[in-house]
Structure 1
């Protein structure tokens, strides 16, 4: 079914149908006829095609580093649900953790006349900032913060501090912290920085820091050498994915968690609750953050004033993966 066919059935001009579909003014009798025909035919407008012709679109482009991420998928669910509530459509661009593709996606989305861009960022480079200045649409960062950009962030540093305080309160003084590259400011820097603040408040504590990737298998590979060389009582992992890898590796070595080794994570992935033992973690509310991001980008699109930085909440979820040494 096309606009022309709808126009013929309703006995009006194609331009009238187009004006009606784009929220323009039409007479009451004409609007009722169009509503009846659209309902009877089950016509669904081609939002993307309409937006290409419109001066102002209702499509929000969202760029994600990878789709096989719990955090990304939950955030996307929140974005999509809230955008639908506000009459906007979501267009997703996946970059597979390739920064060149991320930059390309920013320009590509603008060429498709989207209304705004949400970037689930892992890092912000000069190329990113240059692209943000060149595209003629508002951009919102989710997960990372930069002084030149509107951002929605998780409270990574405070979460790191709270995890550190909890680990110390359970009597752990020989700790392995397994993080990620410091190119990722939120996960690689802020979570570790918050943890270090807690550690600095304890006089007698031995912490060794390690770096891995977000890949669970990499954490499994790193575990034997760390365990053999340092024999920590606990692994504090910068993500739940790393924590899951450490848990798997420990069980492969015949260790009992938490009796022989304790583990904590960050994220609050659903799987950390259903496995045995459940993993103690800093839970971030990704879906709610996605909803906040959608509300914020719509306000930016409409020229409304919003806070430069919005901070999402977290909870420390205590489960069975941490043994008390007190």
Structure 2
């Protein structure tokens, strides 16, 4: 294995000079060319993490995610990684499995590793998050949630909820089951629901029943049959595409036809909602773009450049086959 000492010896310079060069320090142009030539000849690959432990400032970005088995998370990580590569930065990913204690631990752990900054995909912000932020004193960008204590990059969840509400009401649906998640998740659990409720409030003839489940498809599959039996909704509005996929499966197992017997909408724009049949009408969020923007914003924070406190990204409704147009059948 080629070491810094080998590079220094073959370049005819001191080991400290090679180290300074690798860490972006000042060396003469002649020395720089010598070192680069030897590195190319030997195929030497610097240990970025080891370098970072010695440097005052690193090129490593920590990204904390609630779960890895998520379309939204994977697409966001792709955007982050691709953009960081352009900055010659590396990303370390820490998965919390939706455990808040692990999330807090990871913030402290990253700080000890001299991470340059953290991108945090949180489901909620607690006092423990705020305390950790104050103590570590490194740039942290919050993605997917909004809080006054953080720079935030968010989806327009409220307006998306409002627009999907208007959409299904225009299709003539008045007996609706809304299947959401815990309101502790402000973005997914509260804002999407609140936007939908705003749309519903503009119509006096609606019967809406609200239910709560988890982000897991399997939980929705278990929850849905009793809802169908008890209220016979014409439509399910689901807070995520995974929930919508669970509703599709559960309804199919009961022998119901989608959308003739019951309609379904989701949020997210996951690839799977286009592959299944019938395709699911959904709100499409641009997760990879979120990742790209997150990396750009964090680098600005690291470099003490101006960043808006909150940045909101767009969405659009993807109309597929899962929503029946009852307004036509009533003509």
Distance in 1, Cα, partners of 2:18 & 2:95: 35
The 5-angstrom pairing of residues 42-191 of structure 1 reads 42-191=43-192
Q: Distance in 1 between matches of 2:124 and 2:189?
A: 10
Question: 2:232 matched to which residue of 1?
Answer: 231
Query: Which whole-Å CA distance do the structure 2 matches of 1:82 and 1:11 have between them?
Result: 36
Deviation at 1:94, TM superposition (A): 0.7
Report the aligned-residue RMSD: 0.7
Aligned to 1:41: 42
CA distance in 1, matches of 2:129, 2:33: 48
User: Quick check: 1:260 aligned with 2:258?
Assistant: no
CA distance in 1, matches of 2:28, 2:134: 42
Worse overlay, 5-14 or 62-71: 5-14
- The offset of 1:48, in angstroms, is 0.6
Distance in 2, Cα, partners of 1:17 & 1:220: 59
Q: Counterparts of 1:167 and 1:9 in 2: how far apart (Å)?
A: 71
Match of 1:321 in 2: 322
Aligned residues: 326
Q: Distance in 2 between the 1:41 and 1:176 partners? A: 64
Structure 2 residue 231 is matched with structure 1 residue 222: no
For residue 45 of structure 1, give the secondary structure of its aligned residue in structure 2. coil
**TM-score, reference length from structure 1:** 0.99
TM-superposed deviation, 1:79 = 0.6
Q: Helix, strand or coil: the match of 2:305?
A: coil
Secondary structure of the 2:179 match is: strand
SS of 1:288's partner is helix
Q: CA deviation at 1:229?
A: 0.3
Q: Write out the 4+ residue segments of structure 1 that deviate beyond 4 Å after TM superposition.
A: none
The equivalences for 1:191-202 within 5 A come to 191-202=192-203
Q: State the Cα distance separating 1:47 from its structure 2 match.
A: 0.7
TM-score (norm 2): 0.97
Q: What is the Cα deviation at residue 34 of structure 1?
A: 1.1
Unaligned runs of at least 5 residues, structure 2: none
Q: Which runs of 5 or more residues in structure 1 are unaligned? A: none
Q: Where does residue 290 of structure 1 map in the other structure? A: 291
